[in-house]
A and B are shown apart, each in its own frame.
With several copies, the nearest count.
Chain A
């Protein structure tokens, strides 16, 4: 199915009990656009991670401030923007999580952004300390259907 150019916009209170509604909403749009179930799962999880960060970090848990989610469909491309007006952060200070090191430090977390980057085709983080944050994620429709390069070679 060819995706039409289309924009969906959702504003929803920054509370963990809304994560399920957000995931279902995003999944339904992705399914309608024609993504396979595997890609739908990835998109759902990436959006969950971005929204969980807004709830936990931007607004310090269960505030009534809104999470702003925009989904744009342009032909073969799904673009998702997750925007908050929370405290922001410096994304250049993030490092790839090292689980062994985490264990040693008894640290929990730091996995969300790493997951987003692995699940989506493009991830951009645009943070303004004190003003808020925007995560921009893109998934291409045709990539999921093509076999991965290795599989194509070995067959």
Chain B
């Protein structure tokens, strides 16, 4: 209905959030809620899969900024995967690749978590 959806999947101790549709100031609260749920359940290893996301604005990026410190303080991380070039450009323009690990594929992100 709102044009945005978060699908949750678990692989061992890693939570994978699959984003779908558009992520703007209207739908960002839904992502916030999904991440808050992870934190509440002490799930600190999180992959965000962007494969089905068609649009992102700074309101969406702000959500990641708002959670990353807390997640890392608990020894976890927020890793990104499967960004199309349009989505990647927004992250890139704002310097996110210096702050977050971005993987071509969800599996690569998963391997990185598991290899630690």
The secondary structure that dominates the A interface is helix
Please report the total number of B residues contacting A with Cβ < 8 Å: 25
List the one stretch of B34-42, B94-102, B106-114 in contact with chain A.
B94-102
A window 99-136: CB within 8 A of B:
99-100, 102-103, 106-109, 111-112, 114-115, 118-119
Contact between chains at B62 and A111 (CB < 8 Å): yes
B window 42-72: CB within 8 A of A:
55, 57-59, 61-63, 65-66, 68-69
Assuming A49-B58, A52-B57, A100-B99, is B66 touching A17 (CB within 8 A)? Answer: no
Contact between chains at A111 and B22 (CB < 8 Å): no
The secondary structure that dominates the B interface is helix
Contact between chains at B68 and A20 (CB < 8 Å): no
Contact between chains at A52 and B66 (CB < 8 Å): no
Contact between chains at B25 and A56 (CB < 8 Å): yes
Judged by a CB distance under 8 angstroms, whether A45 is at the interface is yes
With CB as the reference atom, state the residue of chain A lying closest to B94.
A111
With CB as the reference atom, state the residue of chain A lying closest to B95.
A99
Judged by a CB distance under 8 angstroms, whether A138 is at the interface is no
Residues of chain B with a CB closer than 8 A to A44's CB: 55
Judged by a CB distance under 8 angstroms, whether B10 is at the interface is no
Judged by a CB distance under 8 angstroms, whether A19 is at the interface is yes
Among A48, A55, A100, A109, contact of B62 (Cβ-Cβ < 8 Å): A109
B62 to chain A, nearest CB (A): 5
**Residue among B2, B26, B61 with most chain A CB within 10 A:** B26
Judged by a CB distance under 8 angstroms, whether A76 is at the interface is no
Contact between chains at B99 and A49 (CB < 8 Å): no
Residues of chain B with a CB closer than 8 A to A99's CB: 65, 94-96, 98-99
A112-B3 Cα distance, complex, nearest whole Å: 22
A137 to chain B, nearest CB (A): 15
Some 24 contacts from A to B, beta carbons below 8 A apart, are: A19-B24, A19-B57, A45-B55, A45-B57, A45-B90, A48-B24, A48-B25, A49-B57, A52-B24, A52-B57, A55-B25, A97-B94, A99-B96, A100-B98, A100-B99, A103-B68, A107-B65, A108-B62, A108-B65, A108-B66, A111-B61, A115-B93, A115-B94, A118-B93
**12 more CB-based (< 8 A) A-B contacts, given A103-B65, A108-B63:** A45-B55, A45-B57, A48-B24, A49-B57, A99-B95, A100-B99, A103-B69, A103-B99, A108-B66, A111-B58, A115-B90, A119-B93
